């Protein structure tokens, strides 16, 4: 047992400096990108920030800054893509929402949107207020408290305590269920997102997943779509107006 504890402590001592050094390097690189951006070197800033992003690290400020750099370089689909990614990580940020709306005014397509049900929209917003893992912790803790209160309900002899424990246990069970639902939804929205941004200057939506299909519509770069199916190198997409069609997978980028 002592040997195991010693090995754990030794591993922590070896790993912690490496993690701290990597975080320090990332902060230095981020600040260097910020300095380049303020000097008007948008390409240099973008290079610094993308280097961080490609390591697997992501955050709302990082995605937001990458979106700003792309916008300054007049790369509208790139800016929209990263504004959308930033918005998933921080849906209440007004600056992200504002810049995203500005970028959307620069795209060609103006599609009529089918209104999203208000309770679905609110469910998504609430789910994204906290990371998936945080919601999961809330769910587990609430469920454990619920079990403790139920044990009190079954084993106490006090009638008032039984009643109080029962109703509070129900509340905690409800909160555990809601937290679990939010955790699953948050993970699906962030890590299994099926939304995508068109990157090709122009792409034709086909009636079938091949070049011989009939043309159903034409889309331009920067348009947001939903991916609903995949066949080989073709993706079936749904537009905000409800229309569907097939496009090559190389013409878009998943958010």
Model confidence pLDDT, tens digit, residues 220-244 = 999 999 999 999 999 999 998 888 9
Please, which pLDDT band fits residue 5 given cuts at 50, 70 and 90? very low
The answer to whether residue 155 sits within a structural domain is yes
Please, which pLDDT band fits residue 9 given cuts at 50, 70 and 90? very low
The answer to whether residue 110 sits within a structural domain is no
The answer to whether residue 114 sits within a structural domain is no
Indicate which CATH number applies to the domain containing 94: 1.25.40.10
Q: What is the pLDDT of residue 196?
A: 93
The answer to whether residue 74 sits within a structural domain is yes
Q: Is the pLDDT of residue 34 over 60?
A: yes
The whole domain housing 155 covers: 121-191
Q: Is the pLDDT of residue 40 over 80?
A: yes
Please, which pLDDT band fits residue 143 given cuts at 50, 70 and 90? very high
> What is the pTM (predicted TM-score) of this model?
0.74
Provide the number of structural domains found in the chain: 3
Q: What is the pLDDT of residue 120?
A: 73
Helix/strand/coil (H/E/C) assignment for every residue in the chain: CHHHHHHHHHHHHHHHHHHHHHHHHHHHHHHHHHHHHHCCCHHHHHHHHHHHHCCCCCCHHHHHHHHHHHHHCCCHHHHHHHHHHHHHHCCCCHHHHHHHHHHHCCCCCCCCCCCCCHHHHHHHHHHCCCCHHHHHHHHHHHHHHHHHHHHHHHHCCCHHHHHHHHHHHHHHHHHHHHHHHHHHHHHHHHHCCCEEEECCCEEEEECCCCCCCCEEEEEECCCEEEEEEEECCEEEEECCCCCEEEEEHHHEEEC
Same domain flag for 215 and 249 = yes
């Amino acid at each position: 047992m002592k040997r195991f504890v010693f090995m754990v402590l030794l591993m922590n001592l070896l790993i912690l400096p490496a993690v701290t050094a990597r975080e320090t390097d990332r902060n230095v690189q981020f600040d260097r990108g910020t300095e380049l951006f303020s000097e008007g070197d948008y390409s240099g800033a973008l290079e610094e920030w993308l280097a961080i992003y490609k390591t697997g690290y992501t955050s709302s400020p990082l995605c937001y800054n990458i979106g700003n750099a792309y916008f300054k370089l007049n790369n509208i689909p790139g800016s929209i893509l990263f504004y959308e990614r930033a918005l998933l990580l921080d849906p209440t940020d007004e600056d992200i929402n504002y810049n995203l709306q500005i970028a959307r005014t620069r795209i060609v397509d103006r599609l009529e949107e089918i209104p999203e049900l208000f309770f679905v929209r609110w469910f998504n917003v609430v789910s994204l207020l906290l990371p998936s893992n945080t919601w999961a912790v809330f769910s587990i803790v609430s469920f454990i408290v619920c079990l403790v209160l139920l044990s009190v309900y079954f084993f106490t002899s006090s009638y008032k305590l039984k009643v109080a424990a029962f109703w509070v246990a129900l509340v905690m069970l409800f909160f555990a269920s809601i937290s679990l639902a939010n955790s699953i939804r948050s993970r699906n929205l962030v890590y299994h997102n099926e939304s995508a941004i068109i990157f090709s200057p122009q792409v034709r939506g086909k009636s079938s997943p091949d070049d011989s299909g009939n043309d159903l519509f034409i889309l331009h770069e920067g348009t947001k779509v939903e991916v609903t199916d995949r066949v080989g190198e073709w993706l079936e997409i749904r537009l905000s107006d409800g229309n569907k069609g097939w496009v090559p997978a190389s013409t878009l980028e998943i958010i």
